[in-house]
Amino acid sequence: MSYTNSLVTCAFPYSNGSIHLGHLLEHIQADIWVRYKRMRGQKVIFICADDAHGTAIMIQSKKENITPEQLIHRTLIEHKNDFLNFNVIHDNYYSTHTTENLFFVKKIFSTLQKKNFLKKKNIYQYYDIKENIFLPDRFIKGTCPYCHTKQQYGDNCENCSSIYTATDLIDPKSILSNTKPLLKKTEHLFFDLPQLETFLKNWIYSGVLQSSVLNKIKEWFITGLKPWNISRDQPYFGFNIPNFPNKYFYVWMDAPIGYISTFKNFCHYNKDINFEDFWKIDSPHQLFHFIGKDIIYFHSLFWPAILEAADLRKPTGIFAHGYLTINQKKISKSKGPMILAKDWIKYLDSDSLRYYYASRLSSKVEDIEMNLETFHEKINADIVNKIVNLASRSAYFINVYFKGYLSKELTDIHLYKILISSSRKIESFFENRDFSLVVSEIIKMSNIANQYVNTEAPWNIFNLKNDISKNRVQNICSLSINLFKIIITCLKPIMPDLAQKSEEFLNISLKWEDIVHPLLNHKIALFKKLYSRINKNQVHFLLKTCTLK
Ligand SMILES: [Zn+2]
C-alpha cells in the first residue's frame, strides 16, 4: 500500500466563455480515471481552476460594461456548476486570479531572475492602430508559416500544432479591426529556454509522454528551442511584472503556476497534505496533467523547463487527447457545432455523455468523433437493452416470489469466474486510460450474462407450485443479478448516477475489492427503473437550441 498522493489536473478553462462538450471530454476523461484510482484505494487529489487572465477577458468585460473581476467571478460560478452537473467532482476548483497565484508567480519569477534565466530584449510586435493596442497572439489571424493553413492564430497552428510568433504568420490581420497590424518596437522579458535544452532532452525520455507526443517534440528540438516571451504590454488583465512598468506576465506564464496555487489553496483546507513535500524536486508523489493536443508544447517544454529552473518537481505523466468532432465537424467557438454543457443537461443526462466518451477514449492522442445521429441508439442498445435489462428481467422473480432474497449459493461458479477474469483485464485498461477497451469488455460481459438468462429462460420454467422449479428460478435470477453487480462495479467510474441507483437496488455499496464476493442470501430492494431510454427527439431539441445560438 502506497501512501503517496497523486495530483491530477485538467487544463484550465478560459474565463470568458461557457463550458462546452470539448471541455467535458477532457474533464470526464480525468474524472473517470480519478474515480477508478480511488476505487482501488489510491489517494488522489483532483484540481482545476479558471484561467482568468489575458486580453480576451479585458475586452469581453469592456463589452459587457463590467470589471474583469466581475466577469471572472460570474464565470467561475457558472463553470463550477457545469462540471458538477456532469459529476466531474474536483477537490478544488479555483482561479488563477488569486493572492496565492500572485505569490507563486512572483516567487518563481524572482528565482528565475536570480538564476539568470530571464533577459530583456527589444522586439517588434503587432499593433492595431485603430484600437490603440498591442495585439496578443490570439487577436491576430493569418496563414501558418509551416503548413500554410489559413486562419490560424498568432501563437500556434491548430492544424500542424507548430508554435511560432505572430510575426511569423503570413498575411496577418487584427481580429479586432480586421486591418493589417503594424509592427511597433517594445521591450519584453524572455525566459531562456535554450539554457534548459539538455535537461529537456533527457526529461522527455523519462516515460512521461505518449509516444506520438515524444515524436512531435523530437521534431521541435530539430527546429530548435527559442527564448520564450513571458511578458505582455498594457492594456492587459493579469499580474504586473515587478520593476517593469506597464508590463504584465503573459497568461501562459501564470496559468500553469495555477496548478501550484490551486493545490496550495486545497492544502489550506486539508492540513494533512504537505504542500512542500509535494512540490520539492525529489517529491515522492505523482503529478498528472490531462490536456488537449493543442497545448502540448506549453506542458511538455515550457512547463517542465520553468519547474526545473525554479527547483521544483516535474510532472509524472502528461496525457494529451485529440479534438472532439461532432458529426465529423471540429467543434469551435467561431465555427462548427458548439454544444454547451448547460444545454446538454436540459435535454439529456450526464451518464450518457460520460459513457459515450468512455466508449471512444483511448490512451492515444486521437480525435474523438461523436455521431449525434446514432448517439441515442448506442446508449439504448448498450445501457438499456444489455446492462440494465440484465437486472430488470431477473429482479421481478426475486422481488415477487422470494421476498427480495438472492439464493444461498451460486449455481454456475464457472460463469461467475469468467466475468471476474474480465474485470481483471478491465483493471489494466482503466489504469492505462484505455476506456474504450473497458467499455467493449463490459459489453462482452453483458452479452455473456444475457445469453445465460436467455438460455435458462426462467419465465418458461417458473411454476409456483413446484419447489424444484422455484428453486431453479431463484438460482438463475440470483446469478444474473450477481453478474449485473460485477458489470455495474466496473461501470461505476464511468456512470456514477447509474451506479448509485444500482447500489440502492442491490442494497450495497459497490466496491472494487468486492467484485470477487457474490451476494448470497442477500436482500435486494424493489426494482425501480435504473435508466431511461433516450428518445431521438431529445437530441433533436438539443441541436435546435444550439443552432439557434
Ligand atoms: Zn500549421
Task: Tell me what pLDDT residue 1 has.
Answer: 38
User: Are 295 and 403 part of one and the same domain?
Assistant: no
CATH number of the structural domain spanning residue 70: 3.40.50.620
Instruction: Say what angle helices 435-456 and 350-360 make with each other, to 10 degrees.
Output: 110
Ligand 1 centroid, distance to 33 Cα (angstroms): 32
Task: State the Cα angle at 351 between 395 and 392, rounded to 5°.
Answer: 10
Region 239-249: mean pLDDT is 96
Q: pLDDT digits over 124-138, tens only?
A: 999 999 988 899 888
Tell me the pTM: 0.93
Model pLDDT for residues 141-152, shown as the tens digit of each residue: 999 999 999 999
* Residue 477 annotated in ligand binding: no
- pLDDT of residue 2 exceeding 80, the answer is no
Is 147 labeled as ligand-binding?
A: yes
Q: Are residues 14 and 89 in the same domain?
A: yes
On the CB side of 497, CA atoms within 13 Å amount to 17
The secondary element (H helix, E strand) that includes residue 456 is: helix 435-456
In a domain, 62, yes or no: yes
Q: Looking at the predicted structure, is the pLDDT value of residue 549 above 60? A: no
Residues 6+ apart with CB under 8 A from 276: none
Q: Which residue has the cell 507526443?
A: 213
Percent of the chain predicted with pLDDT > 90: 90
Say yes or no: 14 and 101 in one domain: yes
- DSSP result, 47-66: EEEEB--SHHHHHHHHHHTS
What percent of the chain is modeled with pLDDT above 70?
98
171 CA from centroid of ligand 1 (Å): 14
Residue 223 lies in a domain: no
- Span 312-320, average pLDDT: 98
Structural domain tally of the chain?
A: 2
Query: Do 306 and 391 belong to one domain?
Result: no
pLDDT at 57: 93
pLDDT beyond 80 at 395:
yes
Distance of CA 248 from the midpoint of ligand 1 (Å):
28
Q: What is the pLDDT of residue 156?
A: 87
In a domain, 403, yes or no: yes
70-93 burial, b at 16+ Cβ within 10 Å, e below that, comes to ebbbebbebbbebbebbbbebbbb
Domain presence at residue 181: no
547 pLDDT tier (thresholds 50, 70, 90): low
In a domain, 177, yes or no: no
Determine the distance separating the centroid of ligand 1 and the alpha carbon of 165, expressed in angstroms.
12
Query: Mind listing the pLDDT tens digit for each residue in 88-109?
Result: 999 999 999 999 999 999 999 9
CA of 217 to the centre of ligand 1 (A): 15
308 and 418, same domain (yes or no): no
* Residue carrying the nine cell digits 508559416: 145
Same structural domain for residues 299 and 422? no
Say if residue 395 is in the same domain as residue 502.
yes
* 157 annotated ligand binder: yes
Q: What is the pLDDT of residue 334?
A: 58
How far away, in angstroms, is 216 Cα from ligand 1 center? 13
Asked if residue 390 and residue 279 are part of one domain, the reply reads no
Q: Are 213 and 325 in contact (CB under 8 A)?
A: no
Residue 490 marked in a binding site? no
- CATH number of the domain at 506, please: 1.10.730.10
Residue 335: pLDDT band (50, 70, 90) is low
Whether residue 510 is found in the same domain as residue 409: yes
Q: How far is the CA of 297 from the centre of ligand 1 (A)?
A: 14
Average pLDDT rounded to a whole number, residues 270-294:
96
Q: Which one-letter DSSP state was computed for residue 227? A: -
The answer on 384 and 265 residing in a single domain is no
143 in a structural domain? no
User: Using one digit for the tens of pLDDT, what is the confidence trace for 72-89?
Assistant: 999 999 999 999 999 999
Query: Does 252 have pLDDT greater than 90?
Result: yes
Measured CA to CA, the distance from residue 229 to residue 219 in angstroms comes to 21
pLDDT, tens digit (0-9, with 9 covering 90-100), for 11-45: 999 999 999 999 999 999 999 999 999 999 999 99
Domain that holds residue 466: 380-514
Q: Residue 336's pLDDT is what?
A: 62
505, 388: one domain: yes
**pLDDT value of residue 136:** 84
In a domain, 419, yes or no: yes
305 & 414 share domain: no
209 alpha carbon – ligand 1 mean position (Å):
22
Q: Which amino acid is at 137?
A: D
The answer to the question of whether 48 is labelled as a binding residue is no
Peptide bond into 235 cis (omega under 30): yes
Q: What confidence category does residue 361 fall into, taking pLDDT thresholds of 50, 70 and 90? A: very high
Tell me what the pLDDT averaged over the chain comes to: 95
Instruction: Examine the pLDDT at 380 and tell me if it is beyond 60.
Output: yes
Q: Give a yes or no: residue 332 inside a domain.
A: no
